[in-house]
């Protein structure tokens, strides 16, 4: 079997081998491809009654948190509890339960923490409204500052005597500094 220079890994004459930079790009592309495959991983094969059910299932497991690996949703987690909860979501959909009922089932047992999309309620109003309130305050401060600057009196232009002094200072600075150091 003829060995191709690339698989041989040695620099072959004729420039047929990959340059180091090309190898890095290839490796990067491979890593991206592998990680995107991993993200699209499906743990169980499910038979859905109709495509709407499948869509709802995918949506629900993507917005419910896995309690074991808390920064993953049910769709991405391979924890046994996540598998159990996916099965429960599937069963509830097959039994004609609505999305809200399924969310309620999870919240009743694990608290609102399971929802990646927490509902708007009195107790978390600061969380939802906070960014907008801060934005408005920031805009207000900014506008106030701009107005103040615009309203502030401009400094009077330099008088002839001041300009002369400035010129002489700028022009003669090195000498004066030397003189100061000498003294």
Partner 1 sequence: MHRYATPLGIFLLLAVLLGIGLTLNPREVPSPLIGKPVPAFRTPGLKDPGKQLSNETFRGRVTLLNVWATWCIPCRQEHPVLVGIANRGEAVLFGLNYKDDRKLAIDWLNGLGDPYAMSGFDPQGRAGIELGVYGVPETFIIDADGRIIYKQIGPMDEKTWKSTLLPRVKRLQEARR
Contact stretch for partner 1 (CB under 8 A) within 9-17, 53-61, 64-72, 173-181: 64-72
Judged by CB under 8 A, does residue 115 bind partner 1? no
Shorter beta-carbon distance to partner 1: residue 34 or 137? 137
Contact stretch for partner 1 (CB under 8 A) within 18-26, 33-41, 111-119, 164-172: 111-119
Contact stretch for partner 1 (CB under 8 A) within 24-32, 33-41, 42-50, 102-110: 102-110
Instruction: Out of 25, 113, 120, 128, point to the residue binding partner 1 (CB under 8 A).
Output: 113
Shorter beta-carbon distance to partner 1: residue 75 or 114? 114
Binding mask 32-61 for partner 1 (x = CB under 8 A): ------------------------------
Judged by CB under 8 A, does residue 85 bind partner 1? yes
Min separation Cβ 154 and partner 1, Å? 22
Shorter beta-carbon distance to partner 1: residue 119 or 179? 119
If phi over 0 gives left and psi between -120 and 50 gives alpha, with beta otherwise, what is residue 14?
Answer: left
Min separation Cβ 72 and partner 1, Å? 13
Question: What is the 3-state secondary structure of the chain?
Answer: CCCCHHHHCCCCCCCCCCCHHHHHHHHHHHHHHHHHHHHCCCCCCCCCCCHHHHHHHHHHHHHEECCCCCCCECCCCCCHHHHHHHHHHHHHHHCCCCHHHHHHHHHHHHCHHHECCCCCCHHHHHHHHHHHHHHHHHHHHHHHHHHHHHHCCCCCCCCHHHHHHHHHHHHHHHHHHHHHHHC
102 closest CA partner among 50, 161, 152, 61: 61
Residues within the interface to partner 1 (CB under 8 A) = 67-68, 70, 80-81, 84-85, 88, 107-113
């Amino acid at each position: 079997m003829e060995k191709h220079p690339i698989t041989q890994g040695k620099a072959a004459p004729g420039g047929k081998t990959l340059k180091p930079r090309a190898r890095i790009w290839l490796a990067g592309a491979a890593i991206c491809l592998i990680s995107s495959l991993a993200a699209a991983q499906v743990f169980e094969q499910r038979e859905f009654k109709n495509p709407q059910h499948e869509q709802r299932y995918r949506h629900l497991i993507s917005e419910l948190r896995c309690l074991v690996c808390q920064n993953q949703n049910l769709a991405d987690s391979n924890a046994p509890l996540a598998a159990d909860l996916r099965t429960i979501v599937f069963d509830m959909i097959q039994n004609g339960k609505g999305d809200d009922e399924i969310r309620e089932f999870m919240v009743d047992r694990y608290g609102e923490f399971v929802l990646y999309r927490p509902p708007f309620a009195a107790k978390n109003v600061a969380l939802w409204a906070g960014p907008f309130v801060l934005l408005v305050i920031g805009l207000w401060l900014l506008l106030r500052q701009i107005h103040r600057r615009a309203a502030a009196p401009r400094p009077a232009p330099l008088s002839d005597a001041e300009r002369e002094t400035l010129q002489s200072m700028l022009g003669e600075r090195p000498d004066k500094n030397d003189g100061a150091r000498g003294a």
